[in-house]
């Protein structure tokens, strides 16, 4: 039975949002709704315009026999700016200050709406790059990796500091923690990353950059390729940072433990985006 | 400027999918599209029908002055059944077998599409319950907790076996691991869970049930309330299980290390769903 345009538009929207970065053929939609390809084509033109006008993302058309459409989630700059400014305010909340000048982030990184927006913003920066996997380190990087991977529609892999029997054989490396200068160990399940994979590193927080640098060594060890590094928040670091080329959404500029004041400003995201 | 119905339907669909379990007023949509409430009402009737027909979820209408609509993501039984059967096949793959009879799951739990479906299926079971937070234990439970929390639109909290300075004060408990009978420790950041919260526990794997039982003790310690327990996979356990009332999507019935054979069948999800 033929399906009406209104129903097609709603269902196609759901279908495309569920499967970002996936080529969907016009034939699939034509069969799904028992409709002519010409009607499907008209539907997609309407969806494409709305997605673009409303800052949902872009709908790319691939022509030819193997053609179809692909939904690319994309945050526009205004939305990203508003979100990052809101996060600056949230991170500056006095009661987030922990002993040692650390900042409590677990509530934000356990909030699905914040994670979705964060994931979409990070994914937007890498749209012109090919990415095969997102890498992070357990535990707090995991929700960010999952959110980014979901928008890029690629798997994510979790590096661990402790060995687990449920990971099978692992490859491990030693790395120097940038802030404490201790030598630590991290490892990744051998079968979780293919040789030659293009990898995006994400994490919740960067201080000296030691952990991120460790992940970079792991990528080398797997003969994979580093595409980029993005952290949710960086903090001003007095020593020499072990990682130079990275993106941060937020920057904790200053923490005054005595007055219980945290000063947070936007990170270098927009500088990197314009490059 | 007035927005046409086709554009409204597409944008409303995106808006509702982004914000599940959130009451959205007709006024919001009427202003957003500069359209009459009666038109918005008609749009929503079409969306409601399509969401229901296509197994996307239900659109609940709340009438009155403070009324509006709320999107409830929901998996229908056929889709859940097909997914669980597919996962049985995937989990039975010979090369997943690890020393000690463990099963490698990290690739599945690092796949965004699998996580989304898993999250939606688990969330569906608890639609008639009020839930304030999803709880899991680091590390492998995190992606499942995030996926479920995303569909229920509630925060998730991560219990840890190791203390971290970035968590602030924590509450810790000792628990007995069901399979190894060792006493271990787990802890949760004090500020992450409010007294009286209704909590859903999720995890990737359950053997003796010790870890899940530990989380139950933590919930007591926080004077919170346990709503339910769901694991991605359980494994047949010879001893007495420490947890009786739980749901599993999958059950690893038998592992033959010599012949490298894993037998996996659907868990008790559908029995629990029908209750």
Residue A238 CB partners (closer than 8 Å, separation 6+): none
User: Mean pLDDT, chain A, as a whole number?
Assistant: 94
Of B46, B155, B165, the CB nearest to A100: B165
Q: What is the model's pLDDT at position B275?
A: 64
Q: What is the mean pLDDT of residues A11-30?
A: 97
pLDDT digits (tens, 9 = 90+) for A98-109: 988 889 999 999
Q: Would you give per-residue pLDDT tens digits along chain B (275 residues)?
A: 678 999 999 999 999 999 999 999 999 999 999 999 999 999 999 999 999 999 999 999 998 877 899 999 999 999 999 999 999 999 999 999 998 888 999 999 999 999 999 999 999 999 999 999 999 999 999 999 999 999 999 999 999 998 788 889 999 999 998 767 789 999 999 999 999 999 999 999 999 999 999 999 999 999 999 999 999 999 988 888 889 899 999 999 999 988 889 999 999 999 998 76
pLDDT digits (tens, 9 = 90+) for A34-91: 999 999 999 999 999 999 999 999 999 998 877 899 999 999 999 999 999 999 999 9
Question: Which residue ranges form the domains of chain B, and what is each CATH number?
Answer: 5-73 (1.10.10.10), 77-274 (3.40.50.2020)
Q: What is the model's pLDDT at position A275?
A: 64
**Prior bond of A139 cis (ω within 30°):** yes
pLDDT digits (tens, 9 = 90+) for A134-172: 999 999 999 999 999 999 999 999 999 987 888 899 999
Q: Which long-range contacts (CB under 8 A, 24 or more apart) does A38-46 make?
A: A39/A5, A39/A8, A40/A8, A43/A5, A43/A8, A43/A9, A43/A12, A44/A12, A44/A69, A46/A9, A46/B6, A46/B7, A46/B10
Q: What is the model's pLDDT at position A211?
A: 95
Tokens read off for A140: 């707090």
Q: What is the model's pLDDT at position A135?
A: 98
Task: Give the whole-angstrom CA distance, residue A232 versus residue A255.
Answer: 17
Q: Which residue of B has its CA nearest to A32?
A: B54
Which has more pLDDT, A208 or B73? B73
* Residue B112 to residue A162, Cβ atoms within 8 A: no
Q: What is the model's pLDDT at position A101?
A: 84
Q: Are A6 and B46 in contact (CB under 8 A)?
A: yes
Q: What is the model's pLDDT at position A1?
A: 66
Q: Which residue of A has its CA nearest to B148?
A: A112
* Residue A106 to residue B54, Cβ atoms within 8 A: no
Of B10, B110, B116, the CB nearest to A50: B10
Task: Give the whole-angstrom CA distance, residue A154 versus residue A156.
Answer: 7
Instruction: Give yes or no for residue A242 having a pLDDT over 90.
Output: no
Q: Is A65 left (phi over 0), alpha (psi -120 to 50) or beta?
A: alpha
Q: Which of A5, A51, A142 to mutate to test the interface with B (most CBs of B within 10 A)?
A: A142
Task: Give the whole-angstrom CA distance, residue B37 versus residue B29.
Answer: 8
Q: What is the model's pLDDT at position A139?
A: 94
DSSP secondary structure letters along B69-112: EEEEE---HHHHHHHHHHHHHHHT-GGGEEGGGEE--TTGGG-H
Task: Give the whole-angstrom CA distance, residue A113 versus residue A96.
Answer: 20
Q: Where are the alpha helices (DSSP H) in chain A?
A: 5-18, 26-33, 37-53, 77-91, 112-125, 142-152, 210-221, 269-274
Q: Which of A96, A115, A139, A202 to mutate to test the interface with B (most CBs of B within 10 A)?
A: A139
Which has more pLDDT, A248 or B101? A248
What does the DSSP 8-state code read for residue A191? G
What interhelical angle do B112-125 and B141-152 show, nearest 10? 60
Q: Which residue of B has its CA nearest to A11?
A: B50
Tokens read off for B29: 């949509």
Q: What is the model's pLDDT at position A66?
A: 78
* Residue A112 to residue B167, Cβ atoms within 8 A: no
Q: Are B147 and B135 in contact (CB under 8 A)?
A: no
Max distance between CA atoms of chain A, in angstroms, equals: 70
Instruction: Give yes or no for residue A178 having a pLDDT over 80.
Output: no
């Amino acid at each position: 039975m033929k399906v009406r345009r209104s129903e097609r538009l709603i269902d196609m929207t759901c279908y495309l949002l569920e499967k970002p970065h996936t080529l969907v053929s016009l034939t699939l939609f034509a069969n799904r709704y028992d409709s002519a390809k010409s009607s499907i084509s008209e539907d997609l033109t309407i969806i494409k315009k709305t997605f673009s006008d409303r800052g949902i993302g872009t709908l790319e058309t691939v022509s030819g026999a193997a053609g179809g459409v692909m939904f690319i989630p994309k945050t526009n700059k205004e939305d990203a700016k508003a979100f990052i400014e809101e996060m600056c305010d949230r991170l500056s909340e006095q009661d987030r200050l922990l002993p040692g000048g650390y900042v409590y982030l677990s509530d934000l990184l356990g909030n699905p709406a914040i994670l979705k927006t964060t994931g979409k913003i990070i994914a937007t920066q890498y749209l012109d790059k090919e990415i095969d996997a997102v890498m992070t380190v357990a535990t707090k990087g995991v929700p960010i990796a999952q959110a980014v991977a979901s928008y890029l529609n690629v798997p994510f892999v979790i590096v661990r500091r402790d060995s687990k029997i449920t990971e099978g054989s692992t490859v491990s490396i030693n790395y120097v923690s940038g802030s404490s200068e201790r030598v630590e160990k991290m490892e990744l399940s051998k079968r979780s990353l293919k040789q030659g994979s293009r990898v995006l590193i994400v994490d919740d927080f960067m201080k000296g950059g030691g952990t991120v640098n460790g992940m970079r060594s792991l990528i080398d060890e797997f003969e994979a390729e580093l595409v980029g590094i993005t952290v949710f928040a960086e903090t001003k670091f007095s020593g020499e940072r072990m990682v130079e080329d990275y993106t941060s959404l937020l920057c904790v500029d200053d923490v005054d433990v005595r007055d219980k004041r945290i000063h947070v400003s936007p990170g270098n995201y927009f500088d990197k985006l314009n490059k």
